[in-house]
Copies of this chain bind each other. A is one copy, B any other.
Amino acid sequence: MNPELSLLETFLHGEKYYLPSVAANNVIFGFNDDQMKVLLLKITATEKWTLPGGFILKDEELIVAAERILKTATGLESVFLQQFGVFGGVDRAKEEMKTLPDQLKNVKISEDSFLLQRFVVIGYLALVKYHLVTPKCDEVTQCEWFDLNNLPPLTFDHNLIVENALKVLRFQLSYLPIGYNLLPEEFPLKSLQLIYETILGRKLDRGNFNKKILSYGILEKKEKFYGGGAHKAPYLYSFKKEIYFNALENGLSKDF
């Protein structure tokens, strides 16, 4: 749940190191096997899966905390990572949190312990290359990818948080490029189209999608890929990094 303190230690004296009342949760998206995935973790002793999250050190920038949480769960740094909302319902978590100590080791925790306080959660969304991630498991924590369209019930309001992350992505799709952080170096257009379709939640026309995505001038055509299947081999493409990252800053525009 955090790099320095064990869960138990956080219960007992998290307030020494962390900003009280504030936490961060990451919605980490990946793409594999033609599907969008979300990285979830679970404390082995508990029932529900949860978003990777953690607390903010007293002198730590919010984004740095989010990066730290991302690195703990995936080993990755410097990917697309963006704040997308705040979730602060009163008692959104308390009842569920209370059951944690029992499930863990029957430790008695006082009512006013750090983790039982009210937290305002800042949501961050991350896009990462699936194949670069080794979901980090140990004795206490499981970590796994789930299909975005088939998530289990999550702790607290985390299902809501994922939905919000998706909604924000959907809006950004119309003016920002996407894919560089989700796809391997070279990929067929169809993969990118599948990402768009998953985020938008609807099918897109192949011809129109190709025309549009190519018109942005962020893609470079590579070799054909003879991959198997009785059909025409697709060309592979890669992103032109400079143009891609410029578009991330300034928005997409047609290149003519």
Residues of B contacting A20 in the complex (Cβ-Cβ under 8 angstroms)? 20-21
B-contact 0/1 string along A40-81, CB 8 Å cutoff: 000000000000000010111110000000000000000000
| A169 to B: closest C-beta gap in Å | 14
Residues of B contacting A85 in the complex (Cβ-Cβ under 8 angstroms)? 83
Q: In the bound complex, do residue A61 and residue B89 qualify as a contact, i.e. CB atoms below 8 Å apart?
A: yes
Q: In the bound complex, do residue B86 and residue A122 qualify as a contact, i.e. CB atoms below 8 Å apart?
A: yes
Instruction: Give the total of A residues in contact with B, Cβ under 8 Å.
Output: 20
Any B CB within 8 A of the CB of A120: yes
Residues of B contacting A88 in the complex (Cβ-Cβ under 8 angstroms)? 22, 56, 61-62, 122
| A206 to B: closest C-beta gap in Å | 26
Any B CB within 8 A of the CB of A19: yes
In whole angstroms, how far apart are the Cα atoms of A219 and B118 in the complex?
44
Cβ contact of A86, chosen from B19, B58, B83, B171, cutoff 8 A:
B83
Any B CB within 8 A of the CB of A90: yes
| A26 to B: closest C-beta gap in Å | 15
Q: Which residue of B lies closest to A89 (CB)?
A: B61
| A15 to B: closest C-beta gap in Å | 9
B-contact 0/1 string along A20-39, CB 8 Å cutoff: 11100000000000000000
Interface residues, chain A, with chain B CB atoms under 8 Å away = 19-22, 56, 58-62, 83, 85-86, 88-90, 118, 120, 122, 171
Question: Would you list the 5 A-B pairs with minimal beta carbon distance, nearest first?
Answer: A62-B88, A20-B20, A21-B21, A19-B21, A22-B120
Q: Mind listing 22 A-B residue pairs with CB under 8 Å? A: A19-B21, A19-B118, A19-B120, A21-B21, A21-B22, A22-B22, A22-B88, A22-B120, A56-B88, A58-B118, A60-B90, A61-B88, A61-B89, A62-B86, A62-B89, A83-B86, A86-B86, A86-B122, A88-B122, A120-B120, A120-B122, A171-B171
